[in-house]
Amino acid sequence: MKKLLLTAVLATVSGLALANSCPAEMKAIDAKMGAAKLSDADMAKVKKLRADGEASHKAGKHDESLKTLAEAKKLLKM
C-alpha cells in the first residue's frame, strides 16, 4: 500500500514539475522571438508552435506542450 501511495505522490509531483516548466519555455521563446532573424514563414511557424504549446499547457497536456515548444526553440536555434 505504501508503494502505491508513493507512486501516486511521485506521479503528481512530476506532473507539477512539467506544468511549471512550460511557462518558462514560453517566456524564453518570447524573449528570443524579438531578436530572431527568421524568414516570415519560419517566424509564422514559431508563433504557431508557441501558441499550440500554450494551448496544450492550458489543456493539461504538458508532455505535448514541451514537445511543441521544443520545435519552436529549434527553429529559433535555442
Domain boundaries, the chain: 2-75
Count other C-beta atoms under 10 Å from residue 76's C-beta. 20
Q: Is the dihedral of CA 64, 51, 77, 38 positive or negative?
A: positive
pLDDT, tens digit (0-9, with 9 covering 90-100), for 14-26: 444 445 789 999 9
CATH no. for 2-75 = 1.20.1270
The set of cell numbers assigned to 63 is 508532455
| CA-atom Rg of the chain in angstroms | 15
pLDDT of the residue at 1? 67
Residues in the chain where the model's pLDDT stays below 50: 4-6, 8-18
Count other C-beta atoms under 10 Å from residue 9's C-beta. 10
